[in-house]
Amino acid sequence: MKLLKVMSTGRVMILLSFILMSFIAISPNPWANGLEVINLVDDSSVKLNGLTQGDIIYAVDGTATDTLDELLVKLDSYSIGEIVLFETNNGQVSFVKENENGFIAKEVGTSNLKKGLDLVGGVRVVLRPTVDLAESEIIDMVDLLEKRLNVFGVSDMSIRNSRDLEGTNYIIIEIAGASREEIVDLVSKQGKFEAKIGDEIVFRGGTDIKSVCRSPECAGISFQNGCYQIEGGEWQCRHQFSVGVSTESAQKHSDITSKLTLENGYLSEKLDLYLDDELVNSLFISENLQGLVATTFSISGSGNGLTEEDAVKNALTDMKEMQTLLISGSLPYSVEVERVDVISASLGEKFFGEALFSIVLAIFAVGGVIFARYRNLNIALPMIFTGLSEVVIILGFAALIRWNLDLAAIAGIIAAVGTGVDDQIVITDEVMRGKSSDESRIERMKKAFFIIFAAYFTMLVAMLPLYFVGAGVLKGFALTTIIGVTIGVFVTRPAFAKMLEKLVE
């Protein structure tokens, strides 16, 4: 009967409504399986044959693939030119295996909770512009870096600007499931590309580049002597892809080459390719291009490896990076890499599980201490229920706003629950003191909530500077703590007070 009275009070019903909405926002689905397609390469065979972003891949040629590693191992077992069959939520998709898979996928989430880099693994790169930039210039840099990563094929990423307490601007890039080498190399380069004949610039990346081929018909490993062994037993593979340039650049090429002499079937000067003022390749110019207004050029490069397979992979990665820089253009300002953090996916999952377990364990431990103090389950159980409710509501709010849950956020949740325990003890003491006091229930609750609100505003004063001025971890911790304590003060603490009144009266 008491329980029915407790459940029917307005404040408790509000708490239960928040819990229900939180479960809806989180949408837990522990039985989810398959791999979600999050990005596709234009003109790739798999896209042209019907695979779309958002599709769920369940099996490859009848073999179930529940993890990304299983999918990649299965695809690597196919030779280039073989037919691959995907079973998806939208039916079957068959396509021809190419040098690259042509898509990026991730494991289907078991809830709407968005885990940060600390909990899923990946790379975090902190960049610092080499010059002081205005806020609008920083926004332009962030937009360009996002475009560069999208062109490269990365979609599960977070790019944001942060400022430390000294006013220094930083750009923080977090990418789940990426490798350190390719990402650091891609985002740290300014990407200023120039093609020169002698000392004269023929075309530049960005404005002069009108198109960059990325389809198998005009990009890939060179067909003739594409891979070969070099001194020391290593393998080297050459890649090439075509680019379209503006008519102005084509005319400039014509004017420059018309003045050159011939040497053994080639012109006397090479087409030198510079990236960030460093020579990356020199290409012979065929004699039939002399004085020609050519709007299409072939750019080539190479990749080395201990095996032919490694050399092919490295050559294609180098080609993809060069294509990305040509398409996205150069950054207006150079940057320096301040810090690089690499976290393994398995370690991240372990962190997440252990962190949630530690929070729940701490709540039950506090409940045990409270029971030992008051010798009353009617006090300990509502305190445990309230603490667990706060965790659920905070996670529901995080799922609703798509906030990244990382270790800082977990620490913020622990801090919020900790302050909740303090507030609940204050409320409990006032309720229990009422049995031997002449003060009215309203006066005692006023005293308790005066203390609670004073502590709440003190916490806000401490956390707001960290949120607005802090960078990275500080900002995440501050936001989660503010959200958690606010939910507690306005939702769970009043409900706890009402539960306690009804259960101990």
pLDDT at 3: 67
Question: Please, are residues 172 and 160 in contact by the beta-carbon 8 Å criterion?
Answer: yes
Q: Does one domain contain both 358 and 439?
A: yes
179 lies in which domain range? 122-189
Burial of 402 (0-12, 13-18, 19+ CB in 10 A): exposed
- In the DSSP assignment, the letter for residue 79 is P
Kindly state whether residues 84 and 141 are assigned to the same domain.
no
Q: What is the largest CA-CA distance in the chain?
A: 109
pLDDT of residue 392: 92
Residue 165 CB contacts under 8 Å (≥ 6 apart), including other chains: 469, 470
CB 336 within 8 A of CB 265: no
The DSSP code sequence of 254-270 is: HHHHTTPPEETTEESS-
Q: Which helix (H) or strand (E) holds 228?
A: strand 227-229
Consecutive 10-residue runs of the chain (505 residues): their mean pLDDT? Answer: 71 91 89 81 80 88 81 82 88 83 78 76 82 82 81 72 76 72 74 86 82 80 76 86 88 89 85 84 82 84 86 85 80 82 66 78 85 83 89 90 80 84 84 65 82 89 77 72 90 87 73
Q: Is residue 407 part of a domain?
A: yes
The reply to whether 112 falls in a domain is no
State the Cα–Cα distance between residues 424 and 503, nearest whole angstrom.
Answer: 15
CB of 71 closer than 8 Å to CB of 105: yes
Residue 375 lies in a domain: yes
Beta-carbon contacts of 444 under 8 Å, excluding residues fewer than 6 positions away, are 430, 431, 433, 434, 437
Q: Is residue 47 part of a domain?
A: yes
- pLDDT value of position 419: 84
Report which DSSP code applies to 430: H
User: Is residue 478 in a domain?
Assistant: yes
Per-residue pLDDT reduced to its tens digit, 77-113: 888 778 889 999 888 888 888 767 778 777 787 788 8
| Bridge partners, residue 296, by sequence | 244
Residues 227 and 278 in one domain: yes
pLDDT of residue 155: 60
pLDDT of residue 24: 93
Distance from chain centroid for Cα 86: 26
Domain boundary among 141, 156, 189: 189
Q: Same domain for 131 and 244?
A: no
* Count: domains in the chain: 4
Token reading at 315: 């050559």
Final residue in a domain of this structure, among 189, 224, 239: 189
Structure tokens at 304: 């080395």
The per-residue DSSP string of 149-206 comes to: HHHHT--SEEEEEEE-TT--EEEEEEEET--HHHHHHHHH----EEEEETTEEEEETT
The confidence score (pLDDT) of residue 20 equals 94
- 53 and 23 in a single domain? The answer is no
Residue 273 sits in the same domain as residue 180: no
**Pair (175, 147) in one structural domain:** yes
Report pLDDT for 327: 79
- Residue 114: DSSP 8-state: E
The closest alpha carbon to 125, from 170, 173, 159, belongs to 173
Tell me if 116 is assigned to some domain: no
CATH number, domain at 145? 3.30.70.3400
Q: Which residues, listed in sequence order, are joined to residue 404 by a DSSP beta bridge?
A: 114
499, 10 Cβ separation under 8 angstroms: no
CA distances from residue 211 to 100, 263, 328 in whole angstroms, order as listed:
20, 31, 11
Question: Tokens 């307490």 map to which residue?
Answer: 165
CB proximity list for 309: less than 8 A, separation 6 or greater: none
Is residue 418 one of the residues assigned to a domain?
yes
∠ at Cα 192 (187, 193), nearest 5°?
Answer: 115
> Residue 130 has what pLDDT?
84
Residues 349, 498: one domain? yes
Q: Alpha carbon of 109 to those of 37, 56, 233, 480, 495: distances in Å?
A: 12, 11, 44, 22, 33
| CATH number reported for the structural domain that contains residue 378 in this entry | 1.20.1640.10
Q: Say how many Å lie between the first and final Cα of the chain, rounded.
A: 13
Question: What tokens does 137 get?
Answer: 């210039």
Do 376 and 473 reside in the same domain of the chain?
yes
Q: HSE-up of 446 (CA within 13 Å, CB side)? A: 5
Span 184-222, pLDDT tens digits: 777 777 778 888 888 888 888 777 888 888 777 788 887
E-strand stretches of 70-168: 83-88, 91-96, 103-107, 114-115, 122-129, 157-163
Of 107, 136, 162, the last residue of a domain is 107
Residue 409, token pair as written in the block: 């956020």
Exposed / middle / buried, residue 280 (Cβ in 10 Å: 0-12, 13-18, 19+): middle
| Shared domain check, 283 and 232 | yes
Indicate whether 379 and 470 sit together in one domain.
Answer: yes
pLDDT at 263: 81
Q: What residues have CB less than 8 Å from 70, skipping those under 6 apart?
A: none
Q: Establish if 114 belongs to a structural domain.
A: no
Q: Determine whether 297 is exposed, middle or buried from the number of CB atoms within 10 Å of its CB (0-12, 13-18, 19+).
A: buried
pTM over 0.85: no
Q: What is the pLDDT of residues 128-152, one digit of tens each?
A: 888 888 878 888 888 888 877 777 7
Same structural domain, 487 and 355: yes
